[in-house]
Every structure is written in structure tokens, then in C-alpha cells.
Amino acid sequence: MHGIVSALPAPYERLVLELWEEMEARFDARFARTALVPHFTWQLAMDDYILEDLVPQLDAFCKTLKPIKIHVKGARHFPGPIPTIYLRIFKSKTLKALHQSLWERFIPFAQSSNDLYFSDTWVPHITIVHKDMAQKHVQAALNLLNERQIDWRFEVDNLLILHQDPDQIATLDYRFKFGEGLVYTAPKPKTRPA
């Protein structure tokens, strides 16, 4: 699975890392930490992206972008048998417009996209707990998070392509900076001579 995501700036990255640690210590919820970096997701390709086509297009797209303002407030959860607890990101006009543009441009490169990230259904969020918390702890975790009165405002200036195999730690494949384009490519794994 590949995702196009935006990493959080300091100090918010550290604050989310601390929340992940607290959820693990209190509720034994550790799967969210496999995401590698605190982020929010714009689009998911369940069977990966066609990277050789996507990367140059994403590079050109990011060169045209300026940092966008993000407002995070309060904790929520997605209902269902697999608990996902998240910090809510307000869907501003600017955020919606960027998401719509990104979705339309890059969905052709996604193999088996996750439709929860389609523009009409997208709920921008920062995942705090995903799939490994007992239902009986969900309300206690939400109460704990909401006691913090989270109300963050910051700018985001990046897109990343993360890759994650089921139940594995994600890896960073590419990083793009708004106004600059591609700024990081993961080293290719060394192959052994035949």
C-alpha cells in the first residue's frame, strides 16, 4: 500500500509521537506507530502507485504549491468494529480545493484506490489509534485526548509517499516540498550479484 500524505511540522510531530506512546502505555495500542511519521493522508493506493509515472507528476505539482494552513481540534473516532481514534482536521476551502486537485490528478496512478479518501467522503485526520484497541477502551481514550483541549494551527509544506506492507513499519519513499518539488528519494536496496 502507498499513501500520499503530509508530515506534521515541529512541535506537532513530537506531540503526536507522545500521544502514540501514551496510547501504547495505557491501552496497549501500538499499531498507529507503524505509520513511521505523524501525518495526515490525502490519498491511498491499496495495491501501490505506478511510481515511475506518479513521481514526475507529483514533482511538477508540488513546485506550484505554497504552504497551506491546517487547523486541528479535538479527538473523534470512526464507528465500526475496528477502532480508529483520530485528531480532527477542519476541512477548509483551501484544504478541500487542494485535495480535489490532488485526487483528480493522481488517482490514475493508483492501483485499487481507497474510496474513503475520495473528495466527497474524505475526512482529514491524524490517526492516534488504529485497529488494536479494545472497544471497551475507546471512550476512555477519547476522554483522555479531549482533556488536552487540542487546538493546533500550523502550516504544511510537504507531500510524502509512504509505503507500508500489512502490519509492517511504513517506509518513506519520496518527499516533496511545496515550491521546490522532489527533495528526497529513498536509496534503492542493494542487490546481490548473481
What is the tens place of the pLDDT at every residue in 14-49? 999 999 999 999 999 988 888 889 999 999 998 889
Distance CA 173, CA 162 (A): 6
Site of grid cell 500521544: 19
Site of grid cell 488494536: 132
Average confidence (pLDDT) over 123-134: 91
Return the minimum-mean-pLDDT range out of 9-18, 129-138, 144-153.
129-138
Q: Which of 3-7, 82-86, 169-173 has the highest mean pLDDT?
A: 3-7
pLDDT band at 193 (very low <50, low <70, confident <90, very high): low
Distance CA 124, CA 47 (A): 21
Q: Which helix (H) or strand (E) holds 81?
A: none
pLDDT attached to residue 141: 96
pLDDT band at 192 (very low <50, low <70, confident <90, very high): low
The CATH architecture annotation of domain 2-185 reads: Alpha-Beta Complex (3.90)
pTM score, two decimals?
0.93
What is the tens place of the pLDDT at every residue in 78-106? 987 888 999 999 999 999 999 999 999 99
Average confidence (pLDDT) over 60-87: 94
Percentage of the chain modeled with pLDDT above 90: 74
**Angle separating helix axes 93-106 and 51-63, nearest 10 degrees:** 150
Q: Where are the beta strands (DSSP E) in 33-124?
A: 39-45, 68-78, 84-89
Provide the residue ranges of all domains of the chain, joining segments of one domain with +.
Answer: 2-185
Q: Classify 15 as helix, strand or coil.
A: helix
Query: Taking every pair of C-alpha atoms in the chain, what is the biggest distance, in angstroms?
Result: 58
Helices (H), the chain: 12-27, 51-63, 93-106, 138-147
Q: Classify 140 as helix, strand or coil.
A: helix
